[in-house]
Amino acid sequence: MLPLRASLACRRLPRRLSAPPLEAFNTSRRLSTLSADHTPAPEFDLAAIRSELAVEHEHSAGSECRWDDASAPWHWLDREMSSNMAGETGAVCIYDGAAAALSLRGTASAETLRFVDEHRAAERRHLELIECLLPPHKHTRLLPMWRAAGFALGFAPALVSDRALFKTVEAVETFVEEHYGEQIGPLKVHGRCPQLVALLEHCCADEARAGNERYVEREDNDL
């Protein structure tokens, strides 16, 4: 939800690919996820994706400072990934807020309750993936603000009606799809970070799937 936009100037994309070692991370760790409809998702090699990010940094900042060094400058993909983490944090909190409001209201349909539970779980998996990729010093300091804003954004419409919640979430997910698309498109055009692209496409597909489900439910319930 509501990630910060950042332009992807093609001139910032790297020209060479050679991943430096990343001893700072547990390179054996892999995560797999389930999409919201419980379809098994691909397993992602997070160490390989971090290497892709390091290559982007090396091209942008040179080889003097490592990507995972706290003093290293942020490059364009760092900003994008940090905004992805902020967005996924906010997304989890949207569903936290919605669940709290639905519980308080007590009149939500079973489908709405199921929807909130399933998509909160999907957003948590997205957040876990993104969080594992970024060194702690590349996590935005604004996460508390994103949590508060996300919770309020989910809580308020859910307190009003199922329809208000679905309309809010649909608008947010449409924005998220566009945001991921702004990263996926240039990376694919330039043949960069293929494994990161696969992860972003997986997250983006979950957002699109959630949007379609919301639409069907709105029609079925004549919301």
Give residues in contact with Fe ion (CB under 5 A).
88, 91, 123, 126, 207
Query: Cβ 210 to Fe ion, closest distance in Å?
Result: 6
> Distance between CA 77 and CA 213 in Å, rounded?
31
Token pair recorded at residue 82:
């940090």
Residue 219 beta carbon to Fe ion: minimum distance, rounded to whole angstroms: 21
Ranked by CB distance to Fe ion, the top (closest) residue is: 126
Min CB(199)–Fe ion separation in Å: 12
Q: Which is nearer to Fe ion, 45 or 207 (CB)?
A: 207
User: 44 near 201, Cβ under 8 Å?
Assistant: no
Residue 57 CB neighbours (<10 A): 25
The smaller minimum CB distance to Fe ion, of residues 57 and 119, is found at 119
What is the smallest separation between the CB atom of 94 and Fe ion, expressed in angstroms? Answer: 8
Give Cβ neighbours of residue 70 (< 8 Å, ≥ 6 apart): 135, 137
Q: Which tokens go with 57?
A: 């940094």
Pairing of strands 40-45, 30-34: antiparallel
Q: Which is nearer to Fe ion, 69 or 170 (CB)?
A: 170
Q: CB nearer to Fe ion: give 55 or 122.
A: 122
What is the amino acid identity at position 147? R
Q: Which is nearer to Fe ion, 26 or 212 (CB)?
A: 212
Q: Name, in order, each residue with C-beta under 8 angstroms of 77's C-beta and a sequence gap of 6 or more.
A: 53, 56, 57, 183, 193
